[in-house]
Amino acid sequence: MMQKQTIPDWPIRRLAVLMFAMTLVAACGNDAKGGETSGTGSSGAEKVKVTAVTNWFAQAEHGGLYAALEKGFYEEAGLDMTIEPGGPQVSSTQIVASGKAQFGMGQADQILLARESGIPLVVIFASFETSPQGLMVHKEENIASPAELEGRNVYVASGASYWEYLKKAYNLQDVQEMAYTGSLAPFLADGKVAIQGYVTSEPYEMREQNVDVDFLLNADFGYNPYANVLFTTESYLKENPEIVKAFVNATAKGFDYFKEHYEEINPVIQKENPDMPLEKLNYAAEAMIPLVYGEEAQKSGVGRMTQERWDTLAQQMTEAGMLKEKPDVTQVFTNEFFE
């Protein structure tokens, strides 16, 4: 039988989010307007103050936002933009829902959970068309599939949506789930274990330790939510469509710029996060390029989404018991603000 060191916390998270949502319904109807100008983009008009809260400390994965800020794309669009870094104690969904920021960054599955709990968020841009999240294993173990994790210790965040999917999809019955704390020490100490991570980050850390690894990208095994999605509230979107449009298209322009000029933008990111080595930022940028600018982006442009992808995610989360019922995903995301 599967042994667990921690109790999955997604039902607890749902209850906590629901309680929080009850205090935010009124706030969502009174979102900060972000400025008093009647439009955006006019060189003579006062810029509209807006804030975007990311999902972690400044990193290459946020490169499109920082490129748009550094190169003046937000300013050209009439926005006085502030990028507020996230962190372990920062909830972008709660900050945006309360009206303290206009835009936030998170993961697609988080947005579905938030909406089911009564927080009316809408995704307007998807930074990653392919999720960078997965499981890292030691190369000498020759693990090519999650099915081969049977009988092993796997370090994962309690109740992680992707893990709930993988357990069901690959019928994992003999895996010992270990609490993931953010430390890679258990992975270094035991060549048999697997540990969660991002292909843009943890493999670099292991390379620095001269440890050879393989990376099982969740997307390759059926679970591929849009990652680092940008969202706002239903009410802000309805009341400020021109601001949302300006933000979406300036951000898309920033991501297009970052693809070819990440070595120029990464020092800007490093100023915001001095603990991040420039070499690691460049590694992450190179690793993320095929995940951000893949087939969907080549066909339709970076940031755009499809209903099929959202439907698949919603169905997977419902079947795994993470959602009570499958939502109408047409209410969850929109491409209407892209030019």
pLDDT in tens, 63-117: 999 999 999 999 999 999 999 999 988 999 999 999 999 999 999 999 999 999 9
| Radius of gyration of the CA atoms of the chain, in A | 20
Same domain, residue pair 113 and 23: yes
Confidence at 43, pLDDT banded by 50, 70, 90: low
In a domain, 207, yes or no: yes
- DSSP characters over 140-184: GG---SGGGGTTSEEEE-TT-HHHHHHHHHTT--S-EEEE--S--
**CA-to-CA distance for 121 and 234, rounded, in angstroms?**
6
**CA-to-CA distance for 95 and 92, rounded, in angstroms?**
5
Does residue 17 have a pLDDT over 80?
no
Same domain, residue pair 186 and 274: no
Does residue 48 have a pLDDT over 50?
yes
Same domain, residue pair 240 and 98: yes
User: Which domain, by its residues, includes 20?
Assistant: 11-27+41-130+225-331
At residue 282's C-alpha, the angle toward residues 277 and 287, to 5°, is 125
Same domain, residue pair 175 and 272: no
Residue where a domain terminates, one of 191, 221, 251: 221
Looking at residue 90, the DSSP 8-state letter turns out to be -
This prediction has a pTM of 0.87
Same domain, residue pair 235 and 199: no
The pLDDT of residue 44: 60
Pairing of strands 227-233, 176-179: unpaired
In a domain, 277, yes or no: yes
Same domain, residue pair 121 and 234: yes
Residue where a domain terminates, one of 170, 194, 221: 221
Mean pLDDT for the stretch of residues 149-160: 94
Structural domains counted in the chain? 2
Same domain, residue pair 16 and 82: yes
The pLDDT of residue 38: 37
Confidence at 49, pLDDT banded by 50, 70, 90: very high
Query: Among candidates 238, 240, 242, which has minimal Cα distance to 250?
Result: 242
Residue where a domain terminates, one of 221, 242, 260: 221
The pLDDT of residue 115: 97
In a domain, 5, yes or no: no
Does residue 293 have a pLDDT over 80?
yes
Task: Return the CATH number at 284.
Answer: 3.40.190.10
